[in-house]
Structures are given as C-alpha cells and as structure tokens.
Amino acid sequence: MKGVVFNLLEEMVEQEFGLEVWESLLDATGQDGVFVSTETYTDEQLVSLVVAAHEKSGIPVNELIRSFGKFMFPRFHKTNPGFFKPDMTLKDFLLSVDQVIHVEVRKLHPGAGLPQFEYVDENDSELTMIYSSPRKMCMLAEGLVAGAAEHFETEYTLDHSECMHDGADACRLHLKFVA
C-alpha cells in the first residue's frame, strides 16, 4: 500500500477519534507513523492499524474498512478532478475505474497494489462489479462505491452476493441505481 493510503487513514482516525488515538494505534502496532505518500508499505502494516482501531473502538473491522473507503473518496476527487467528466453518471464513473483510473494510478505510482474489476453491464440502472485482488479489500471497494454514490448524489442498493472471504474466486458487487 502506498503511503498516501496511510496518510488518509491517519487523517480519518484523527478527525473521528483524535490525535492521541492515532498515536495509541501506532504504539500498539510498533510503527513510527512516518508514511511518505509515494513510498510503498506492507499491507500487513495497514491491516494491523485497522485491527488495532477495532480493538480500541469495538467497531467491527469490516465496518472500519468500509468507512475508510467512504472517507477516502472525496479526497481522491479533490486530488484527481480530471477523472470526473461533466455529465458522467455514477455508473459511467464506476465503469471507468478499472480501465481508466487505476491504469493512470499504476502509471503514476509504480508498485501500487490495485485490484482488478470486471463488469457486467446489466442495463441502465444495474451494474455488477466483479472484484478480485490478493488483498481481498472488498469492503474498501464497498466504501469507495458509497463515497462515489454520495458524490454523484445517486441512491443505490448493493448486493455483495459472492465474497472472496467466503472462498469465492472473486466478489460480486451487484448494484442497482435508483433514479
């Protein structure tokens, strides 16, 4: 994971729980808290911070990761406005993540650990995103989708019908958009 992800996690924890909680998470996981945005750190470092946050707050790990994805989204929008085209719908945007956005991210940040999305474009108001990644961060994907939906002011329902955490090869995120 790139340092930028850790920087955003720090921002969220400090905003929600305060600086002393972030410092206690660093203590609990034996980390110094210096995360350079363009450097790569291990996935275990991120996971250990999230687990420590769960132990401290009692909030389930899945819920924390999902909230983190939702929190990240407006920051990604702010730092990368070029990915948001006028007249784009939420569905257009989600369809651009794999072949446009993450392709650019990979060019800018060699070594970024990015997932793969395949899509089933069911119809105007339905899209299935098939997520696969060795990191199995499908809850982060759910949170990013929630953040995107808020940005595009679009209501939706999500059915995470198959999940890598239950042994599936990939996660199926079936989205229905409410006009």
Binding site for ligand HEM (CB under 6 A): 1-2, 5, 76, 80, 83, 94, 97, 101-102, 105, 112-115, 133, 135, 137, 140-141, 144-145, 148
Return the number of the residue (45 or 57) whose C-beta is nearest ligand HEM. 45
What's the closest the beta carbon of residue 139 comes to ligand HEM, in angstroms?
8
**Measured between alpha carbons, how far is residue 2 from residues 28, 36, 72, 113, 157 in Å?**
21, 8, 13, 8, 30
Residues 6+ apart with CB under 8 A from 165: 136, 138
Measured from the CB of residue 170, what is the shortest distance to ligand HEM in angstroms? Answer: 11
Q: Which is nearer to ligand HEM, 26 or 88 (CB)?
A: 88
Nearer to ligand HEM, 54 or 102 (CB): 102
Give the residue with the Cβ less far from ligand HEM, 18 or 38.
38
Residue 57 CB, shortest distance to ligand HEM, in Å, is: 22
The residue at minimum Cβ distance from ligand HEM is 133
The minimum distance between CB 20 and ligand HEM, in angstroms, equals 26
